[in-house]
Amino acid sequence: MVSRRAIRAYLLATGLAAGLAQVVLFRELLVVATGTELVIGLVLAVWLAGAAAGSWWADRGAPNPIALARRGWRLAWLGAPALGFGVLALRAARLAFFFVPNTIANFFPPESKPAYLFSRLVAIQLGETLGLGHILFLSLVAILPAAMVCGAQFVTGARLLGRRWAGVAYALDALGHLAGGVALALTVTAFLDALLVAAACAPLYAVVAYALLSQPRQWALPRAAFGAGALTIALVVLSPASRTWRWPQQTVLEERTSVYGLVTVARQAGGGAYFFENGIPSGESPPTPRMEVLVNFALAQVSKLKKVLLVGGGVSGGLSEVLKHDPEQVDYLEFDPVFLALGRRWAVEADRKALADPRVRAIAMDPRLFLGQGNWGYDAIILAMPAPTTALINRFFTREWFAQCRQALAQGGVVAYSLPYSQVYRSDALEMLDATVVAATRSGIPQKELVFLAGEELVVAAAEGTALATSPERVIARLAQRGVDAPYLQAYIWDWMDPQNLAPAQHLLAGPRAAENSDLRPIGALLGTVYWLAQVTPTAAALVMPLLRLPGPGATALALLLAAPAVIGLAIMVIRRRASPGALPLMLAVGMTGMAHETALLMLLQTRHGYVYGLVGVLVGAFMLGVALAAWYVEARGIRVAGGLALGGTTMVVCGALIVAVAASNIPVGWLGFTLLALASGVAVGAVFPSVVDAARHAGRGRVGAVYAADLLGGVLAALTVPALIVPIAGIVPTIGASTAATAVFAAVMALALRTRT
């Protein structure tokens, strides 16, 4: 017989390695793909789908302990190679998407359709942004193998432990995820390269899998040691070379990892230094004219300039331009301290000199948290950030942010930012994006007027009760009065403030093009993503546009899609006149609602507490801990099926109600409060899991793998829809309300139907 202690160690190690693999692969993908919520949701969905497929596969065959132990041994040898392969595939993606399709196209006549397909539609240029199709294909190739192995390992370990211990197996896997995806991921990945993490997993897998063999053959131990050692050496050797594959046609000057992600400084031939945060361009030195236009136009609106807040852009010429106006103090904010350190080292001399100026305070802190601590009295707040394509960046284009800026401005102060714009190119996504942000500005800062530059970008300056410079003459006169040289702005401002060019911009901004961007309905992030999609994958953008045009009630009703699994499950129970056929649909609904709760909590925590990469692990860990504790408790206490469903459903309702209350009010909730809510959400999922396993037996589908797969598929559906579509369009409150209510009713009905069964 297989040692029960060895099985538990195997399950714990499987969860730990899976948690590490998720963090490593997600971080690597963010470097080569745009890190929008759409991409993150897609990647998470691929992982959960792969784990579900692996779980389903491992559920086949009779539960023979010897055969299952050997399967666990064989699967252990796939874990580290699958993770290493995924990392290498992600790093080689840009090179592969350039060389492979073009090579295939050469086998066809130049004017043929296959040649056009591969060379124009599939291939990308070196350094070009990946399209959504590329990212999906890459996710399947790089992430699916590791996810399938992890799912198969869990079910194999759970079957070895025995059906009656399904909750214990679920708890051990959750605790492993807690250790691997939170505790280790926040420390190990900050110091070790991704391939080195994969190499560290190889001996871990080998040791715990070897312990499963009840009668190990003589060759098992030496082969295990040799295989783990050879794999470790191969991954260590490939580590430094593979990191350069991510930056074709560029020279990496320095690359450093922090708890916030990967910061890279690269240089092209004949160019300056380019700064990337998780693969997203975040600055260039020497700067482009964009920073000159934004900063000088904003500061020209202020008559007396003493104190300036610059959010981003400091190492890209922003500080140099601000200091031309001779302010008394400049506070420059960046999220990541590593970014500031690399800026001081690799920026051009003018930017390094500006960073060292005694009037400048360079601070690594979230801007909303910074203003929330009472740092007020600014004559100008300049937001030098890219378009809101992520929920993190979108927080600085919402009604709540502009209201916070209004509070932090001195009398006569101005807030300024820029948005994508073109005098000749028009698209619904672009117009709706600009309109929704300007609508949020008008709501947060009730002012007499806004002033615009309608040129290469839409530069917006807003103030309350202040006479703004609405003509080129006034802007140029203010700059001349201060002795500020801004040649690019002075050359083009006549065109960009020409009434004929301003009229189309003012027309589209005045109309009700989109809902107002807010923290609870962050539609700006979705619009920014659709605008990006329109440039790289136009077909995908066209599919999303009808949802953005939904009227208010229709947009809110979109949240009812999350109630579909519960409604379908109840219909199956009514048609079959038995409760047990609804077991798998219930687990699907619970998995979806748990993911919706977790998503909402992360978004609310980010809104309230800023850049939360350091706290994301805490919330995810609390959720997994809740899953583990509840599953263990329900099974250890022998709670009946109806009792477990009632406990899970009640906890889910309480948790959902508290999330809605926190979202819809200004209740001060610290990170500890969000952690407790995440714990409660995990308790709801963990309490239901062993109960559904027992309930499914009555339908002849009582295997752990089927229930676990249903749980993961629910997470897949929520990951694909909640953060990227439903929350931005319908809002957090309707999303949580619809999913929680429907799933809780479903659980209550099944609990009543099964109240006499165990």
Residue 277: strand pairing partners: 263, 280
- Yes or no: say if 525 and 36 are a contact pair by the CB < 8 Å rule: yes
When divided into structural domains, the chain yields a total of 3
Q: Do 508 and 597 sit in the same domain of this protein? A: no
Residue 219 lies in a domain: yes
Domain boundary among 248, 275, 304: 248
> What is the domain extent for residue 495?
287-531
Residue 282 lies in a domain: no
Local structure of 302: helix, strand or coil: coil
Mean pLDDT of 409-432: 87
Q: Please name the residues in contact with 470: beta carbons below 8 A apart, sequence gap of 6 or more.
A: 449, 451, 497
Position 445, amino acid: I
Q: Do 300 and 169 sit in the same domain of this protein? A: no
Q: Do 235 and 302 sit in the same domain of this protein? A: no
Residue 607 lies in a domain: yes
Residue 653: per-residue pLDDT: 94
Q: Is the pLDDT of residue 39 over 80?
A: no
Mean pLDDT of 51-73: 82
Mean pLDDT of 600-614: 77
Q: Do 377 and 471 sit in the same domain of this protein? A: yes
Q: Do 493 and 638 sit in the same domain of this protein? A: no
Residue 39 lies in a domain: yes
Residue 95: per-residue pLDDT: 87
Q: Give how far Cα 199 sits from Cα of 202, 207, 245, 675, Å.
A: 5, 14, 19, 32
Residue 18: per-residue pLDDT: 82
Q: How confident is the model at residue 355 (pLDDT cuts 50, 70, 90)?
A: very high
Residue 361: per-residue pLDDT: 94
Residue range 363-385, pLDDT digits in tens:
998 899 899 888 899 999 999 98
Residue 184 lies in a domain: yes
Phi, psi angles (nearest 5°) of residue 678: -65, -40
Q: How confident is the model at residue 698 (pLDDT cuts 50, 70, 90)?
A: low
Residue 269 lies in a domain: no
Q: Do 560 and 524 sit in the same domain of this protein? A: no
Q: Please name the residues in contact with 485: beta carbons below 8 A apart, sequence gap of 6 or more.
A: 324, 479
- Yes or no: say if 671 and 605 are a contact pair by the CB < 8 Å rule: yes
Q: Do 525 and 639 sit in the same domain of this protein? A: no
Distance CA 308, CA 322 (A): 8
Q: pLDDT: is 191 or 664 the higher one?
A: 664
Q: How confident is the model at residue 493 (pLDDT cuts 50, 70, 90)?
A: very high
Q: Please name the residues in contact with 284: beta carbons below 8 A apart, sequence gap of 6 or more.
A: 272, 273, 274, 275, 316
Q: Is the pLDDT of residue 38 over 70?
A: no
Q: Do 219 and 326 sit in the same domain of this protein? A: no
Q: How confident is the model at residue 181 (pLDDT cuts 50, 70, 90)?
A: low
- Yes or no: say if 347 and 332 are a contact pair by the CB < 8 Å rule: no
Q: Do 20 and 132 sit in the same domain of this protein? A: yes
Q: What is the pTM of this model?
A: 0.84
Q: Residue 261: which region, alpha, beta or left (left: phi > 0; alpha: psi -120 to 50)?
A: left
Residue 613: per-residue pLDDT: 59
Tokens of 207: 């040791």
Q: Which runs of consecutive H residues, i.e. helices, occur in 33-64?
A: 37-58
Q: Is the pLDDT of residue 744 over 90?
A: yes
**Angle, alpha carbons 158-152-155 (nearest 5°):** 15
Q: Do 494 and 555 sit in the same domain of this protein? A: no
Q: How confident is the model at residue 187 (pLDDT cuts 50, 70, 90)?
A: low
Cβ neighbours around 135 below 10 Å, total: 24
Mean pLDDT of 642-655: 91
Q: Is the pLDDT of residue 511 over 80?
A: no
Among 60-69, 113-122, 133-142, the range with the most confident prediction by mean pLDDT is 133-142
Q: pLDDT: is 30 or 149 the higher one?
A: 149
- Yes or no: say if 675 and 719 are a contact pair by the CB < 8 Å rule: no
Q: pLDDT: is 461 or 172 the higher one?
A: 461
Distance of CA 161 to the CA centre of its chain: 35
Q: Is the pLDDT of residue 615 over 70?
A: no
Nearest to 594 by CA among 689, 728, 518, 667: 689
Residue 414: per-residue pLDDT: 93
Residue 184: per-residue pLDDT: 61
Domain boundary among 474, 497, 531: 531
Residue 424: per-residue pLDDT: 79
Residue 568: per-residue pLDDT: 92
Residue 265 lies in a domain: no
- Domain CATH for 612: 1.20.1250
- Yes or no: say if 365 and 333 are a contact pair by the CB < 8 Å rule: yes
Tokens of 157: 């370990």
Q: Do 4 and 117 sit in the same domain of this protein? A: yes
- Domain CATH for 386: 3.40.50.150
Residue 205 lies in a domain: yes
Looking at every residue in the chain, the average pLDDT score rounds to 84
Residue 215: per-residue pLDDT: 63
Residue 617: per-residue pLDDT: 62
Mean pLDDT of 430-455: 86
Tokens of 722: 């909640």
Question: Which residue in the block uniquely carries the two structure tokens 């290493």?
Answer: 84
Phi, psi angles (nearest 5°) of residue 179: -70, -45
Q: Give how far Cα 409 sits from Cα of 320, 569, 597, 653, 720, Å.
A: 22, 54, 36, 41, 39
Question: Which residue in the block uniquely carries the two structure tokens 């809740």?
Answer: 626
Residue 758: per-residue pLDDT: 44
Q: Do 82 and 182 sit in the same domain of this protein? A: yes
